[in-house]
Structure 1
Protein backbone atom coordinates (compact mmCIF):
# COMPACT_ATOMS: atom_id res chain seq x y z
CA UNK A 1 0.00 0.00 0.00
CA UNK A 2 1.36 3.36 -1.02
CA UNK A 3 0.43 7.02 -0.90
CA UNK A 4 1.40 10.02 -2.96
CA UNK A 5 4.40 10.56 -0.73
CA UNK A 6 5.61 6.95 -0.99
CA UNK A 7 5.01 3.92 1.23
CA UNK A 8 2.72 4.47 4.19
CA UNK A 9 4.82 5.31 7.25
CA UNK A 10 7.73 6.80 5.34
CA UNK A 11 6.59 10.35 6.09
CA UNK A 12 6.26 9.64 9.81
CA UNK A 13 9.74 8.07 9.92
CA UNK A 14 11.23 11.07 8.15
CA UNK A 15 9.55 13.41 10.63
CA UNK A 16 10.91 11.47 13.60
CA UNK A 17 14.44 11.52 12.17
CA UNK A 18 14.17 15.25 11.49
CA UNK A 19 13.26 15.91 15.11
CA UNK A 20 16.12 13.74 16.34
CA UNK A 21 18.59 15.68 14.19
CA UNK A 22 17.24 18.98 15.48
CA UNK A 23 17.52 17.79 19.07
CA UNK A 24 21.11 16.67 18.57
CA UNK A 25 22.09 19.94 16.96
CA UNK A 26 24.64 20.61 14.27
CA UNK A 27 27.78 20.72 16.42
CA UNK A 28 28.01 17.41 18.30
CA UNK A 29 31.38 18.12 19.95
CA UNK A 30 33.32 15.54 21.97
CA UNK A 31 31.40 12.79 23.68
CA UNK A 32 31.04 13.36 27.41
CA UNK A 33 32.81 10.80 29.61
CA UNK A 34 30.66 7.94 30.84
CA UNK A 35 30.96 7.51 34.61
CA UNK A 36 32.32 4.12 35.64
CA UNK A 37 31.54 3.17 39.20
CA UNK A 38 33.48 -0.11 39.32
CA UNK A 39 36.73 -0.24 41.27
CA UNK A 40 39.83 0.29 39.17
CA UNK A 41 42.22 -0.71 41.92
CA UNK A 42 42.14 -3.13 44.82
CA UNK A 43 41.01 -1.72 48.14
CA UNK A 44 43.72 -0.93 50.68
CA UNK A 45 42.71 -4.02 52.64
CA UNK A 46 43.04 -6.24 49.55
CA UNK A 47 46.16 -4.67 48.10
CA UNK A 48 48.36 -4.60 51.18
CA UNK A 49 51.83 -5.67 50.08
CA UNK A 50 52.89 -7.24 46.82
CA UNK A 51 52.87 -10.59 48.59
CA UNK A 52 49.20 -10.02 49.49
CA UNK A 53 48.35 -9.50 45.81
CA UNK A 54 50.09 -12.74 44.86
CA UNK A 55 48.32 -14.55 47.68
CA UNK A 56 44.95 -13.20 46.49
CA UNK A 57 45.67 -14.41 42.95
CA UNK A 58 46.59 -17.85 44.26
CA UNK A 59 43.41 -18.03 46.32
CA UNK A 60 41.17 -17.01 43.44
CA UNK A 61 42.84 -19.38 40.96
CA UNK A 62 42.19 -22.22 43.40
CA UNK A 63 38.58 -21.02 43.83
CA UNK A 64 38.25 -21.37 40.04
CA UNK A 65 39.11 -25.08 40.37
CA UNK A 66 42.58 -24.78 38.89
CA UNK A 67 45.78 -26.10 40.43
CA UNK A 68 48.37 -23.48 41.34
CA UNK A 69 51.94 -23.60 42.64
CA UNK A 70 54.59 -20.99 43.41
CA UNK A 71 58.12 -21.65 42.20
CA UNK A 72 61.34 -19.70 41.86
CA UNK A 73 62.82 -18.92 38.46
CA UNK A 74 65.53 -21.55 39.04
CA UNK A 75 62.88 -24.18 39.81
CA UNK A 76 60.67 -23.51 36.79
CA UNK A 77 62.11 -26.19 34.49
CA UNK A 78 61.78 -28.85 37.20
CA UNK A 79 58.26 -27.68 38.10
CA UNK A 80 57.09 -27.87 34.46
CA UNK A 81 58.49 -31.38 34.14
CA UNK A 82 56.92 -32.49 37.44
CA UNK A 83 53.51 -31.11 36.42
CA UNK A 84 53.61 -32.95 33.09
CA UNK A 85 54.85 -36.19 34.63
CA UNK A 86 52.06 -35.92 37.19
CA UNK A 87 49.58 -35.92 34.31
CA UNK A 88 51.46 -38.79 32.62
CA UNK A 89 51.90 -36.60 29.56
CA UNK A 90 53.79 -38.20 26.69
CA UNK A 91 53.27 -35.59 23.99
CA UNK A 92 52.70 -31.87 24.41
CA UNK A 93 52.36 -28.84 22.16
CA UNK A 94 54.09 -25.51 22.80
CA UNK A 95 54.40 -22.13 21.08
CA UNK A 96 57.40 -21.95 18.78
CA UNK A 97 58.95 -19.18 20.89
CA UNK A 98 58.53 -20.86 24.29
CA UNK A 99 61.75 -20.27 26.31
CA UNK A 100 63.96 -23.35 26.07
CA UNK A 101 64.63 -23.39 29.81
CA UNK A 102 60.98 -24.11 30.60
CA UNK A 103 61.31 -27.58 29.04
CA UNK A 104 64.96 -28.21 29.86
CA UNK A 105 64.19 -30.86 32.50
CA UNK A 106 61.71 -32.87 30.41
CA UNK A 107 62.56 -36.52 29.90
CA UNK A 108 60.38 -38.95 27.98
CA UNK A 109 57.96 -36.23 26.84
CA UNK A 110 57.79 -35.22 23.19
CA UNK A 111 57.25 -31.49 22.64
CA UNK A 112 55.72 -30.33 19.36
CA UNK A 113 56.50 -26.74 18.43
CA UNK A 114 53.53 -25.07 16.74
CA UNK A 115 55.51 -23.95 13.70
CA UNK A 116 54.19 -24.61 11.17
CA UNK A 117 50.75 -24.72 12.75
CA UNK A 118 49.80 -28.13 14.10
CA UNK A 119 46.51 -29.44 12.69
CA UNK A 120 43.44 -29.68 14.92
CA UNK A 121 43.46 -33.45 14.97
CA UNK A 122 47.00 -33.48 16.38
CA UNK A 123 46.10 -30.79 18.92
CA UNK A 124 43.19 -32.92 20.12
CA UNK A 125 45.49 -35.93 20.51
CA UNK A 126 48.27 -34.32 22.57
CA UNK A 127 48.26 -34.63 26.34
CA UNK A 128 48.92 -31.00 27.22
CA UNK A 129 49.72 -27.48 26.08
CA UNK A 130 52.34 -25.35 27.83
CA UNK A 131 52.25 -21.56 27.46
CA UNK A 132 52.98 -18.30 29.15
CA UNK A 133 50.50 -15.41 29.43
CA UNK A 134 50.19 -11.67 28.82
CA UNK A 135 48.75 -10.60 32.18
CA UNK A 136 46.86 -12.09 35.13
CA UNK A 137 44.24 -10.65 37.51
CA UNK A 138 44.45 -11.25 41.25
CA UNK A 139 40.88 -10.21 42.07
CA UNK A 140 39.31 -12.79 39.74
CA UNK A 141 42.06 -15.39 39.34
CA UNK A 142 41.96 -14.77 35.59
CA UNK A 143 44.78 -15.33 33.10
CA UNK A 144 44.81 -13.45 29.81
CA UNK A 145 46.59 -14.56 26.65
CA UNK A 146 47.02 -12.24 23.66
CA UNK A 147 49.04 -14.38 21.25
CA UNK A 148 52.30 -12.70 22.26
CA UNK A 149 55.60 -14.23 23.30
CA UNK A 150 55.37 -17.79 24.66
CA UNK A 151 51.59 -17.89 24.12
CA UNK A 152 50.97 -19.02 20.57
CA UNK A 153 47.64 -19.00 18.77
CA UNK A 154 44.32 -19.46 20.54
CA UNK A 155 43.80 -23.05 19.42
CA UNK A 156 46.78 -24.20 21.49
CA UNK A 157 44.91 -23.55 24.72
CA UNK A 158 41.38 -24.32 23.53
CA UNK A 159 41.79 -27.82 22.09
CA UNK A 160 44.10 -29.91 24.35
CA UNK A 161 42.49 -31.19 27.55
CA UNK A 162 45.20 -29.89 29.89
CA UNK A 163 46.76 -26.43 29.93
CA UNK A 164 49.89 -25.67 31.95
CA UNK A 165 50.37 -21.91 32.15
CA UNK A 166 53.41 -20.06 33.47
CA UNK A 167 52.64 -16.72 35.09
CA UNK A 168 55.44 -14.45 36.24
CA UNK A 169 54.78 -12.47 39.40
CA UNK A 170 55.26 -9.12 37.66
CA UNK A 171 52.46 -10.03 35.23
CA UNK A 172 49.88 -10.15 38.02
CA UNK A 173 47.80 -7.01 38.54
CA UNK A 174 45.05 -6.36 41.04
CA UNK A 175 41.93 -5.76 38.96
CA UNK A 176 40.45 -6.27 35.51
CA UNK A 177 40.73 -2.53 34.60
CA UNK A 178 44.45 -2.70 35.40
CA UNK A 179 44.78 -5.71 33.12
CA UNK A 180 42.91 -3.95 30.32
CA UNK A 181 45.34 -1.04 30.57
CA UNK A 182 48.18 -3.44 29.74
CA UNK A 183 46.43 -5.10 26.81
CA UNK A 184 46.06 -4.19 23.16
CA UNK A 185 42.35 -4.57 22.24
CA UNK A 186 43.33 -5.28 18.63
CA UNK A 187 45.04 -8.52 19.64
CA UNK A 188 43.21 -11.89 19.98
CA UNK A 189 42.50 -11.95 23.72
CA UNK A 190 41.65 -15.15 25.58
CA UNK A 191 40.46 -14.71 29.18
CA UNK A 192 40.80 -17.85 31.29
CA UNK A 193 39.24 -18.23 34.74
CA UNK A 194 39.78 -21.86 35.62
CA UNK A 195 39.12 -24.93 33.45
CA UNK A 196 36.55 -24.57 30.69
CA UNK A 197 33.10 -25.18 32.16
CA UNK A 198 29.43 -24.65 31.44
CA UNK A 199 26.11 -25.33 33.14
CA UNK A 200 23.20 -26.86 31.28
CA UNK A 201 19.51 -26.21 31.84
CA UNK A 202 19.61 -28.46 34.91
CA UNK A 203 22.57 -26.47 36.29
CA UNK A 204 24.90 -29.46 36.11
CA UNK A 205 28.50 -28.30 35.74
CA UNK A 206 30.29 -29.85 32.76
CA UNK A 207 34.00 -29.19 32.25
CA UNK A 208 35.95 -29.29 29.03
CA UNK A 209 33.18 -28.27 26.64
CA UNK A 210 34.82 -25.14 25.24
CA UNK A 211 38.44 -25.75 26.25
CA UNK A 212 40.70 -27.70 28.60
CA UNK A 213 39.21 -29.75 31.42
CA UNK A 214 42.28 -29.11 33.56
CA UNK A 215 44.22 -25.89 34.16
CA UNK A 216 47.41 -25.69 36.16
CA UNK A 217 49.24 -22.45 36.93
CA UNK A 218 52.89 -22.03 37.91
CA UNK A 219 53.51 -18.63 39.50
CA UNK A 220 57.16 -17.70 39.07
CA UNK A 221 58.41 -15.42 41.83
CA UNK A 222 61.33 -13.91 39.94
Structure 2
Protein backbone atom coordinates (compact mmCIF):
# COMPACT_ATOMS: atom_id res chain seq x y z
CA UNK A 1 0.00 0.00 0.00
CA UNK A 2 1.37 3.39 -0.97
CA UNK A 3 1.46 6.38 1.37
CA UNK A 4 -1.35 7.94 -0.68
CA UNK A 5 -3.54 4.87 -0.25
CA UNK A 6 -2.80 4.82 3.47
CA UNK A 7 -3.81 8.47 3.93
CA UNK A 8 -7.00 8.07 1.87
CA UNK A 9 -7.96 4.96 3.84
CA UNK A 10 -7.62 6.87 7.10
CA UNK A 11 -9.76 9.69 5.72
CA UNK A 12 -12.46 7.22 4.68
CA UNK A 13 -12.47 5.62 8.14
CA UNK A 14 -12.72 9.03 9.79
CA UNK A 15 -15.71 9.94 7.60
CA UNK A 16 -17.47 6.57 7.87
CA UNK A 17 -20.23 7.89 10.13
CA UNK A 18 -20.76 11.16 8.24
CA UNK A 19 -23.84 11.23 5.94
CA UNK A 20 -22.90 11.85 2.31
CA UNK A 21 -25.35 14.73 2.07
CA UNK A 22 -23.93 16.59 5.08
CA UNK A 23 -22.06 19.82 4.40
CA UNK A 24 -19.31 21.33 6.59
CA UNK A 25 -21.50 24.31 7.50
CA UNK A 26 -24.07 21.93 9.02
CA UNK A 27 -21.68 20.41 11.55
CA UNK A 28 -20.80 22.59 14.56
CA UNK A 29 -17.10 22.81 15.35
CA UNK A 30 -15.95 22.78 18.95
CA UNK A 31 -13.90 25.92 19.47
CA UNK A 32 -13.24 25.45 23.15
CA UNK A 33 -9.50 25.96 22.80
CA UNK A 34 -7.64 28.57 24.81
CA UNK A 35 -7.98 32.08 23.40
CA UNK A 36 -4.94 33.26 25.35
CA UNK A 37 -2.24 31.44 27.27
CA UNK A 38 -2.16 32.82 30.80
CA UNK A 39 -3.69 35.81 32.50
CA UNK A 40 -1.94 39.08 31.75
CA UNK A 41 -2.62 42.73 32.36
CA UNK A 42 -2.63 45.07 29.37
CA UNK A 43 0.85 46.28 30.29
CA UNK A 44 2.14 42.71 30.52
CA UNK A 45 0.66 41.90 27.10
CA UNK A 46 2.45 44.88 25.56
CA UNK A 47 5.69 43.89 27.29
CA UNK A 48 5.32 40.35 25.90
CA UNK A 49 4.83 41.76 22.41
CA UNK A 50 7.99 43.86 22.73
CA UNK A 51 9.95 40.88 24.06
CA UNK A 52 8.86 38.55 21.25
CA UNK A 53 9.42 41.17 18.56
CA UNK A 54 12.96 41.64 19.82
CA UNK A 55 13.43 37.87 19.93
CA UNK A 56 12.69 37.85 16.20
CA UNK A 57 15.40 40.52 15.73
CA UNK A 58 13.04 43.43 15.24
CA UNK A 59 14.27 46.68 16.80
CA UNK A 60 11.64 47.88 19.26
CA UNK A 61 11.11 51.50 20.36
CA UNK A 62 8.56 52.85 22.82
CA UNK A 63 7.24 56.39 22.91
CA UNK A 64 4.06 58.44 23.28
CA UNK A 65 2.19 60.43 20.58
CA UNK A 66 4.05 63.63 21.50
CA UNK A 67 7.46 61.98 21.15
CA UNK A 68 6.66 60.06 17.96
CA UNK A 69 7.64 62.76 15.38
CA UNK A 70 11.05 63.30 16.99
CA UNK A 71 11.66 59.56 17.21
CA UNK A 72 10.76 59.07 13.55
CA UNK A 73 13.21 61.81 12.58
CA UNK A 74 15.97 60.17 14.62
CA UNK A 75 15.32 56.73 13.16
CA UNK A 76 15.44 57.94 9.57
CA UNK A 77 18.47 60.12 10.27
CA UNK A 78 20.25 57.25 12.01
CA UNK A 79 19.59 55.10 8.99
CA UNK A 80 20.97 57.77 6.68
CA UNK A 81 17.70 57.68 4.76
CA UNK A 82 17.39 59.97 1.75
CA UNK A 83 13.89 58.86 0.77
CA UNK A 84 10.87 57.30 2.43
CA UNK A 85 7.72 55.87 0.88
CA UNK A 86 4.46 56.70 2.68
CA UNK A 87 0.97 55.16 2.44
CA UNK A 88 -1.78 57.66 1.50
CA UNK A 89 -3.48 57.49 4.90
CA UNK A 90 -0.41 57.81 7.09
CA UNK A 91 -0.97 60.63 9.64
CA UNK A 92 1.07 63.63 8.51
CA UNK A 93 2.11 64.49 12.06
CA UNK A 94 4.12 61.26 12.35
CA UNK A 95 6.79 62.70 10.06
CA UNK A 96 6.33 66.36 10.96
CA UNK A 97 9.85 66.56 12.46
CA UNK A 98 11.55 64.94 9.45
CA UNK A 99 13.59 67.38 7.35
CA UNK A 100 11.87 67.38 3.95
CA UNK A 101 15.01 68.82 2.37
CA UNK A 102 17.08 65.82 3.39
CA UNK A 103 14.50 63.02 3.14
CA UNK A 104 12.32 62.85 0.03
CA UNK A 105 8.75 61.76 0.75
CA UNK A 106 7.40 59.39 -1.89
CA UNK A 107 3.68 58.68 -2.01
CA UNK A 108 2.55 55.11 -2.54
CA UNK A 109 0.97 55.14 -6.00
CA UNK A 110 0.35 52.53 -8.68
CA UNK A 111 3.12 54.11 -10.76
CA UNK A 112 5.77 52.95 -8.27
CA UNK A 113 7.48 49.89 -9.71
CA UNK A 114 9.47 47.30 -7.74
CA UNK A 115 12.59 48.89 -9.26
CA UNK A 116 11.53 52.29 -7.89
CA UNK A 117 10.86 50.81 -4.46
CA UNK A 118 14.21 49.06 -4.43
CA UNK A 119 15.87 52.47 -4.64
CA UNK A 120 13.89 53.82 -1.64
CA UNK A 121 15.73 54.03 1.68
CA UNK A 122 12.82 53.33 4.02
CA UNK A 123 9.08 52.81 4.34
CA UNK A 124 6.86 53.90 7.22
CA UNK A 125 3.48 52.27 7.89
CA UNK A 126 0.93 51.67 10.57
CA UNK A 127 -0.52 48.21 11.19
CA UNK A 128 -3.86 46.42 11.51
CA UNK A 129 -3.11 44.43 14.66
CA UNK A 130 -0.16 42.98 16.60
CA UNK A 131 -0.08 39.58 18.34
CA UNK A 132 1.80 39.49 21.64
CA UNK A 133 2.14 35.72 22.03
CA UNK A 134 3.80 35.29 18.64
CA UNK A 135 5.52 38.66 18.21
CA UNK A 136 3.66 39.16 14.94
CA UNK A 137 2.60 42.36 13.18
CA UNK A 138 -0.29 42.05 10.72
CA UNK A 139 -0.85 44.45 7.82
CA UNK A 140 -4.10 44.48 5.82
CA UNK A 141 -3.40 47.20 3.24
CA UNK A 142 -5.35 49.78 5.23
CA UNK A 143 -4.97 53.51 4.50
CA UNK A 144 -1.97 53.87 6.84
CA UNK A 145 -0.31 50.69 5.51
CA UNK A 146 -0.56 50.94 1.74
CA UNK A 147 -0.03 48.19 -0.79
CA UNK A 148 1.76 45.01 0.21
CA UNK A 149 4.70 45.63 -2.13
CA UNK A 150 5.88 48.75 -0.31
CA UNK A 151 6.65 46.66 2.79
CA UNK A 152 8.34 43.84 0.87
CA UNK A 153 10.82 45.67 -1.37
CA UNK A 154 12.48 48.52 0.60
CA UNK A 155 15.32 47.39 2.87
CA UNK A 156 14.11 49.27 5.96
CA UNK A 157 10.58 49.19 7.40
CA UNK A 158 9.37 51.29 10.32
CA UNK A 159 6.01 50.03 11.60
CA UNK A 160 3.99 52.04 14.12
CA UNK A 161 1.67 50.20 16.52
CA UNK A 162 -0.86 52.05 18.63
CA UNK A 163 -0.82 50.71 22.18
CA UNK A 164 -2.94 49.21 23.62
CA UNK A 165 -5.77 49.35 21.08
CA UNK A 166 -3.93 47.50 18.32
CA UNK A 167 -2.39 44.80 20.53
CA UNK A 168 -4.04 41.43 21.25
CA UNK A 169 -2.86 38.39 23.14
CA UNK A 170 -3.28 35.64 20.56
CA UNK A 171 -3.80 34.71 16.92
CA UNK A 172 -7.51 33.79 17.46
CA UNK A 173 -8.10 37.29 18.85
CA UNK A 174 -6.29 38.82 15.88
CA UNK A 175 -8.33 36.86 13.34
CA UNK A 176 -11.54 38.29 14.79
CA UNK A 177 -10.32 41.78 13.85
CA UNK A 178 -9.22 40.93 10.31
CA UNK A 179 -11.28 40.67 7.14
CA UNK A 180 -10.34 37.49 5.21
CA UNK A 181 -10.97 39.22 1.89
CA UNK A 182 -8.18 41.75 2.45
CA UNK A 183 -4.51 41.15 1.49
CA UNK A 184 -2.96 40.14 4.81
CA UNK A 185 0.76 40.24 5.52
CA UNK A 186 1.93 38.56 8.73
CA UNK A 187 5.36 39.78 9.85
CA UNK A 188 7.48 38.24 12.60
CA UNK A 189 10.78 40.09 12.48
CA UNK A 190 12.81 41.10 9.43
CA UNK A 191 12.83 38.90 6.34
CA UNK A 192 15.16 35.94 6.85
CA UNK A 193 15.98 32.48 5.57
CA UNK A 194 18.78 29.97 5.99
CA UNK A 195 20.59 27.52 3.77
CA UNK A 196 21.14 23.82 4.34
CA UNK A 197 23.96 24.62 6.77
CA UNK A 198 21.60 26.90 8.74
CA UNK A 199 23.50 30.08 7.88
CA UNK A 200 20.97 32.87 8.40
CA UNK A 201 20.52 35.42 5.61
CA UNK A 202 18.31 38.47 6.11
CA UNK A 203 16.58 40.64 3.54
CA UNK A 204 15.84 37.86 1.03
CA UNK A 205 12.12 38.41 0.52
CA UNK A 206 11.41 41.53 2.53
CA UNK A 207 13.12 44.25 4.59
CA UNK A 208 16.50 43.50 6.09
CA UNK A 209 15.70 45.77 9.04
CA UNK A 210 12.35 46.01 10.83
CA UNK A 211 11.87 48.73 13.43
CA UNK A 212 8.67 48.65 15.46
CA UNK A 213 7.48 51.74 17.32
CA UNK A 214 5.01 51.13 20.16
CA UNK A 215 3.09 54.37 20.66
CA UNK A 216 1.49 54.28 24.11
CA UNK A 217 -1.40 56.66 24.54
Q: TM-score, normalised by structure 2?
A: 0.86
Partner SS for 2:67: helix
> Which entry has the higher C-alpha Rg, 1 or 2?
1
The answer for the alignment partner of 2:106 in structure 1 is 112
2:122–2:158 contact (8 Å) kept in structure 1: yes
1-side partners of 2:22 and 2:110: how far apart?
Answer: 53
**Compared with structure 1, are the counterparts of its residues 198 and 27 closer, same or farther at alpha carbon in structure 2 (3 Å cutoff)?**
closer
Note the 1:1-222 alignment, pairs <5 A: 24-26=19-21, 30-36=25-31, 38-44=33-39, 47=40, 49-107=41-99, 108-169=102-163, 170-222=165-217
**Compared with structure 1, are the counterparts of its residues 151 and 21 closer, same or farther at alpha carbon in structure 2 (3 Å cutoff)?**
same
**Compared with structure 1, are the counterparts of its residues 34 and 123 closer, same or farther at alpha carbon in structure 2 (3 Å cutoff)?**
same
Aligned-CA RMSD value? 2.1
Q: CA deviation at 1:98?
A: 1.1
Partner SS for 1:219: strand
**Compared with structure 1, are the counterparts of its residues 36 and 198 closer, same or farther at alpha carbon in structure 2 (3 Å cutoff)?**
farther
What is the number of equivalent residue pairs in this alignment?
201
**Compared with structure 1, are the counterparts of its residues 29 and 193 closer, same or farther at alpha carbon in structure 2 (3 Å cutoff)?**
closer
**Compared with structure 1, are the counterparts of its residues 205 and 74 closer, same or farther at alpha carbon in structure 2 (3 Å cutoff)?**
same
**Compared with structure 1, are the counterparts of its residues 21 and 71 closer, same or farther at alpha carbon in structure 2 (3 Å cutoff)?**
closer
Q: CA deviation at 1:32?
A: 2.2
- Displaced runs of 4 or more, over 2 A: 20-39
